Structure formats: C-alpha cells, structure tokens
Amino acid sequence: MHRVRFAPSPTGFLHIGSARTYIFNWLFARHSGGTMILRIDDTDVGRNSDASETSIFDGLKWLGLDWDEQYRQSERLALHRAMADAIFEKGMAYRDFTPAQSGDSEKSGAQGTWLFNAGMRELSREQSDRRAAAGEPFALRFRVPHDRIGHVKFADAVYGEQAKAYADIEDFALLRSDGMPTYHLANCADDADLRITHIIRGQEHLSNAFKHQLIFDAAGATAPTFAHLPLLMAPDGMKLSKRVHGPVVSVTTYRDAGFLPQAFINFLCLLGWSPKNDREKLSREETVELFTLEGINRANAVVNFTEEEPFDPKALWLNAEHIRAMSPQDLARELVPFVPAGTDPEKLGKITPLIQERMKLLRDVQTVADFFFVDELPPYDPAELIPKKGDAAMAKNVLIKAREVLATAEFTHDALEAALRAASVELGIKAGQMFEPVRVAVCGRKTAPPLFGTLEALGREACLSRIAKAIEKL
C-alpha cells in the first residue's frame, strides 16, 4: 500500500510549483489505490503565518483533490527529538556549541565546501555533556563519516541511481540551538513514522536526499523511494518566485481569473510529465488512469507569461478546451461568480451557449457578454453602425426596417434569421449589410456573439429600445 505526502511549510501563498507537487502525489496515490497525506511542516515558527496556511487550504480546496490523513509537524516535536536523541546516543551526531552563523557572510565563498565547525566534532562526551548541562546553547549536527570511502546511494524513481561521496557532505544540523528540529530531521522522522513509501517532491531536494538517506540509515529506518520532480521555471530562466514574478505564481490568481480546476491541473501535470500518447486534454479520471512515475521527465519546464499576458497560452487553450467540453448548464453554474450579482439564472442559461466557445477564462464572460448585463449600452461611435460598402443612410434604413420587423417577428433564432434575411432582400442589400448595423445597435460593437441567438437572449423589448437609440444617433 503506497503512502505519499505533501508537506508544505506555511510560509507563503500556495505556489503553482507546490500545487503541481501536490497533484503528482495525489495522482500517484489515487492511481495506485494508496494514501494521500497532508502534513503541514510548520517547524519554522518565525516564518509561519495563518494567512499562508489559509491560502494552502483554499488552494487545495479549489483544486478539489482530497487527502486521507492530515498532520501538523509542530505537534510531533517529541517524535523528532526522540529520533535526534537516538542518533546522538549512537554517536552519529554531536553537539555544536558554535554560535549560529550570522546570515550569508561567506555563503558563496570561493573556498570549497564547508564540512563542520573546527573543534566541535572532536569534543569528548564528557566535555559536551558538561557544557550542555551548564546551559550553553548548541545545535545538534549529524556526524557524517567523511573518512569513509564510498558514497551515499539511493535510486531515484525519476533521476535514477544517485551517489555522493561522504567526503562531500557537510555535517548538517538536526536540532537548532532553540531545540527545534531542522527540516531534515523533522522530515525524516515524520516520513518514517508515517510509513511514507514514496517521497515525491521538487528537484531542489535532490541534493538533500543524500542527507535524508543518511538520517534514515542512522535511525535504522528504511528510506522511502525518492521521486524528484523537475522544477517550474519562469520565462527568464529563473526559478518561479512570488517576489520577482508576482501573482502569476499563486494558485488563487488562476482561480480568480476563471480557470477551471481540472484545466489548471491538466496544464500543470503536463509540465514535466507526459502520458506519451499525444493526448493533451485530459479529464481527472483519465489522468489518474494514465499517471505513472515513469512518465515524469527530468528537464525543468518553463511556464510562459508576460506583462500583458499573465497566463501561459497553453494553460489558456486547455482551459478553453475544458470550457467547451462542458454542458452549457454546468458552465452557466461556473459563470455565476463572474456575472453581476442577481443575474437571472434563466437569462444566464440563454447567454451561456452563445459565449461558450468564445471564452478562454470564465471571467471573459465580463468582456464577451457585457452588453447582456447592462440596461443602457455604453456610448459607442455612431460610425460603427455603418455597414461595409454602405453609408449612414443605409444604416438608418436598415435599422428602421429592423425595428419594424422585430416588432412583430417571433423571437426565436430561426424566425429572427428568416425575418432579417427577408428584410435584406426587400431592401436590396446583402445580408451582412443588414446584420451589421443591427449587431452594433444591440451590442454596441462589431464583434459579438452570433446575432440571432443574441437577439433572442436579449428579448424584444431591449432590442427595440437599443435600435431606437441607434437610429437617433444617425
């Protein structure tokens, strides 16, 4: 039985990279009939925030991907310390009384890898105990066997066999001087305790996995299978970050713009994973069915966005595909939050099929169908009313004729079309020349949904009054 976990730290908004990690974990669990675990990794007390946690839950709720068990890392500190103690008692960790390094002073120093703080590794147990008993603060560090020849090894389900020489791994911290576990320790202790079978997470942890392997080994636990995921990059080649790339990296931005959850999931899982059958648009069920770790590739993927167009064109296209695939009834329901409050559901039901294949985002209803929701059309240039190869006089004739015809015609798509086409014949003009002024009069612009359905949805009264107003303009 596979057990996987998503373990976000509540220190920022739910990022699309994190969402993708969640999605892959979820797909793996559901595909294999396993267990999905949500674990809030909140050991960094200073940086945790409630807003961040809310954002994570909101985001996951919107995605609609459930989980089976939930934990909070901060409630499991005893477990973490027990593991640290066990490792310490085995002599595989030691106390480091060196005061915490102030910031990134020599972070990118050119003098090779830092391995440990001089003098601390060799402290005798007596000395160490005495200083600790005296209340001197210390961090607990893993005693990496630097002298040992050979490598720490593990098989990554995505990246294959991994090996790193003991001599290249620094004595990382297990416990901070305030007694709180570090990420490495807490992670491994929890993963072991929760009997996690597969750790599916971002590639930024690939190098950390050697340390984690060391911890699992030291604690006498079998390490889960690691499966690292290629990272999401910005178009400028940088790692996506809220700070430099803004709201495009936040899941709620996609939700608020009117992405369908499944379209968003579809887009994200195609970034770094392929069903290998040229399928692009996938339903949730199909994705679960097709998902395997073998389909994950190794190169980072870039999410395209610009100042003008904040969403990846492929994400937009997929969203449009999913929108078109919905029943108009379902779509109308999704549209409700994007439409003026109090919009008549019946009217929305009439409008929806007219705009369904003209939308990329749900919020597009506001620009594509705006004229349905106002009593009075915003001002437009009367010149717009003049049809191709025509003049103001023709426009006026058309509108007067249209007003006459529409006053009596049955207000259904087919009847309307027949009536207006007949009218154009009567006037001796092309059908297009007939439709264009009517469209502008009724919609306030030249590009709009199909005319007859629009007239029908708008209703006789509104059409007639808008045409009358247009005639006045000429």
Determine, following the binding rule CB under 7 A, whether residue 64 of this chain makes contact with RNA: no
Indicate the SS3 state at residue 272: coil
Q: Which of 99, 119, 246, 247 binds RNA (CB under 7 A)?
A: 99
Nearer to RNA, 204 or 344 (CB): 204
Listed ranges 243-251, 258-266, 314-322, 332-340: which one lies at the site for RNA (CB under 7 A): 314-322
Residues ≥6 apart with Cβ < 8 Å to 79: 189, 190, 193
- Taking the alpha carbons at both ends of the chain, their separation in whole angstroms is 75
Q: Alpha-carbon distance 257 to 320, whole Å? A: 13
Q: Candidates 289, 330, 357, 404: give the one binding RNA (CB under 7 A).
A: 357
Q: How far is the CB of 342 from RNA (least distance, A)?
A: 27
Residue from 371, 376, 378 nearest 339 by CA = 371
Answer yes or no whether residue 448 interacts with RNA by CB under 7 A. Answer: yes
We find the least distance from the C-beta atom of residue 386 to RNA, in angstroms, to be 14
- The answer for residues whose C-beta is within 8 angstroms of residue 133's C-beta and 6 or more apart is none
Tokens of 36: 């999905």
Of the candidates 265, 324, 318, the residue with the CA atom closest to the CA atom of residue 290: 265
CB of 15 within 8 A of CB of 48? Answer: no
- Amino acid, single-letter form, for residue 450: P
- Is residue 338 a contact partner of residue 362, using CB atoms and an 8 Å limit? yes
For RNA, the binding residues in 20-39 under the rule CB under 7 A are none
- The residue among 33 and 102 lying less far from RNA, judged by its C-beta, is 102
Can you tell me which of 17, 34, 59, 230 binds RNA, judged by CB under 7 A?
230
CB 296 within 8 A of CB 370: no
Question: From CA 91, how far away is CA 85, in angstroms rounded?
Answer: 10
Minimum CB–partner distance for residue 149 and RNA (Å): 14
| Binding test (CB under 7 A) with RNA, winner from 148, 324, 389, 469 | 324
Tell which phi-psi region holds residue 330, choosing left (phi > 0), alpha (psi between -120 and 50) or beta.
alpha
Nearest alpha carbon to residue 443 among 433, 453, 431: 453
What is the smallest separation between the CB atom of 314 and RNA, expressed in angstroms? 4
Q: How far apart are CB 47 and RNA at their closest, in Å?
A: 6
Q: State the nearest-atom distance from the C-beta of 325 to RNA, in Å.
A: 10
- Which CB sits closer to RNA, 43 or 197? 43
Which is catalytic among the residues 61, 153, 242, 446? Answer: 242
Q: Is 242 a catalytic residue?
A: yes
Q: Is 449 in the site for RNA (CB under 7 A)?
A: yes
320 binding RNA? (CB under 7 A): yes
x/- binding map, residues 153-192, to RNA, per CB under 7 A?
A: ------xx-xxxx--x-x-xx--xxx-x-xxx-x------
**Are 455 and 442 a contacting pair, CB within 8 Å?**
yes
Q: Which residues ranging from 361 to 390 are in contact with RNA (CB under 7 A)?
A: none
Q: Using CA atoms, how far apart are residues 188 and 175, in angstroms rounded to an integer?
A: 13
127-135, 297-305, 339-347, 370-378 -> range binding RNA (CB under 7 A): 297-305
301 near RNA (CB under 7 A): yes
Token pair for residue 235?
Answer: 């178009």
Residue 9 interacting with RNA (CB under 7 A): yes
- Which one of residues 32, 74, 98, 225 is an interface residue with RNA (CB under 7 A)? 98
List active site positions. 242
